[in-house]
Structure 1
């Protein structure tokens, strides 16, 4: 397996990040993703980078800030690679690293199977599809998501810009998740029913759907939850229960496995996230960012159908 991990790391460093000999590469990992971190370290050295490998204690939840020393290190590199159990994608530390000019990728919750299976893809093809979808989302004033099991959610997208997670991270300050493949936006507001039937960050695949009533962008009522979903938001205030993201998956190699890192990239899925969106054009600051996935949605942008029961119509 280590040989396959190194091969996937080499692809990520060269095709996704465009690593050049002599660049300063920081790899931040934890005990859950240690072997993937080691693969990046080994391949980075082989490719001529100046590499530092740092292992930090696992974070408690997605969106928690890493230790201050990690935040400092990230500001003083050319490239950062962060395979960890919990995500630091939506953190001040990651945003400031990019503002300082570092480019990088996060791989929250990555497993060795997901890593070797989804990293070797056609990044140029994925880039084209995801950019096209992001442009359509940017051009829309509103979105509507419906599903056969009850989702009927309206979102106000006015004057917001969508982003494309394409996996191509070659310019200073650029950033992506890996595996890549997502067009996403920070909505102004949302109203209606969201029926989550795929997976939820920090929970995994759902056995039974969870129904959420959303009003003026806020979570108001929850049905079908046995407590795990609500506990994610306990003590975190109203910002954590605010709709922070509409995202659409574009990666044909990704599938639903119960790991939101891969699940949210599966082509034709849609996810709604609650919590922080400061990193991609929103103004909601929260301690968490919880993605909630719909398996076979139909998505309208203004009055144009873009996804039909999980099939992208582009």
Structure 2
């Protein structure tokens, strides 16, 4: 009697293949993450076509290098939604690698917000951030709102060239005491950078504690707390609670003492103001419901207007499309984020990025040295 045949072991065998997507997935798995045989890989997806198609290709690519993939599909989560309990529990298996291919966000960690994870005197309100940045037990990439078209175009790039570009920019930012950004639309803002180290999203996520976006291609830092002063004129795209917007009209943000004091403009500016208010009110509501302390509620609410990031786009194949994941990587742009920062000393429930095009970025170093990183959008390093 013949033994029963086993079901297909890959998504490609079960549903058919997509050679282009399979090739791009191999780049992500082998070039960016360098997944090794036997490693546990957690892939997070949503029931959306692009998310599922990319996640299937990544699952198969992990299998082909001998990894142990698990694919978890949860409902779509917006910026203020909680992740499913099953996802948070999946981190208890201590994955070596995490790939988040979410249509929006991974979702907040309810228990982490109520009782933060502590590591080396730093508090983390999400188990993912705790394992990535604190304990450094995993490495990861995350691709919110990624589309098949964008994945195919922006992931298979020359990573050696990108990493060299990112390294040169990071070296300057790491030495900077302050940074000034201007652009032809009227942006003129200065941020402090003392005690800050830049993060390089260069597509090398091969060691524990490393993580970033795919598509890769930016260098960014958290401004020194309370130092940002000036005017930002967002003129490319901007993210809000409702999603990412390509801007037909500029949005002006007046920054004082490290916080956004005013947001000026038309309907897009009104949407940004509503988003900042939602971020603050959600924090206060959590405190009223007893899920976080009143002190933490006020801290999160205040930081909804914190200037949390300056980033510089460096991916040669990225273009402004209304997907901030890709938009913030576009050459000849920089971006600022309002809300939480990456140094974990300005926690907030929200993080809204906005693009500034054709910037001039000047780093002021010790002993009066100045280095122009970009002039009118042209990278000079």
**TM-score between both structures, scaled by the size of structure 1:** 0.94
Structure-2 change in CA distance of 1:89 and 1:69 (3 Å): closer
Q: Deviations over 1:95-132 (max 9, x none)?
A: 12312511111011101110000110111221111021
Match of residue 144 from structure 2: 108
> Structure 2 residue aligned with 1:17, among 14, 33, 45?
33
Q: CA deviation at 1:252?
A: 1.1
Match of residue 313 from structure 2: 249
Is there any run of 5+ residues in structure 2 with no aligned partner, and where? 1-16, 109-124, 281-300, 365-369
Match of residue 260 from structure 1: 324
Q: In the TM superposition, what are the counterparts of 1:127-142 in structure 2 within 5 Å?
A: 127-142=163-178
Match of residue 237 from structure 2: 199
Give the whole-Å Cα distance in 1 for the aligned partners of 2:339 and 2:127: 17
Any conservation in 1 of the 2:260–2:307 contact (CA below 8 Å)? yes
Match of residue 28 from structure 1: 44
Q: CA deviation at 1:89?
A: 9.7
Q: CA deviation at 1:224?
A: 0.8
Structure-2 change in CA distance of 1:100 and 1:137 (3 Å): closer
Match of residue 59 from structure 1: 77
Q: CA deviation at 1:54?
A: 0.5
Give the whole-Å Cα distance in 1 for the aligned partners of 2:88 and 2:177: 36
Q: CA deviation at 1:64?
A: 5.2
Q: In the TM superposition, what are the counterparts of 1:206-217 in structure 2 within 5 Å?
A: 206-217=247-258
More helix by share: 2
Structure-2 change in CA distance of 1:65 and 1:268 (3 Å): farther
Equivalent residue pairs, number: 311
Match of residue 4 from structure 2: none
Give the whole-Å Cα distance in 2 for the aligned partners of 1:225 and 1:55: 38
Give the whole-Å Cα distance in 2 for the aligned partners of 1:101 and 1:50: 16
RMSD across aligned C-alpha pairs, in angstroms? Answer: 1.8
Any conservation in 2 of the 1:210–1:222 contact (CA below 8 Å)? yes
Give the whole-Å Cα distance in 2 for the aligned partners of 1:282 and 1:45: 35
Give the whole-Å Cα distance in 2 for the aligned partners of 1:68 and 1:161: 34
Task: Work out whether 1:230 is the aligned partner of 2:297.
Answer: no
Q: Deviations over 1:128-166 (max 9, x none)?
A: 110211111110000111111110111111111111111
> Structure 2 residue aligned with 1:182, among 218, 221, 234?
218
**Bigger Rg over Cα:** 2
Give the whole-Å Cα distance in 1 for the aligned partners of 2:374 and 2:89: 42
Q: In the TM superposition, what are the counterparts of 1:137-156 in structure 2 within 5 Å?
A: 137-156=173-192
Structure-2 change in CA distance of 1:267 and 1:89 (3 Å): farther
Give the whole-Å Cα distance in 2 for the aligned partners of 1:310 and 1:88: 32
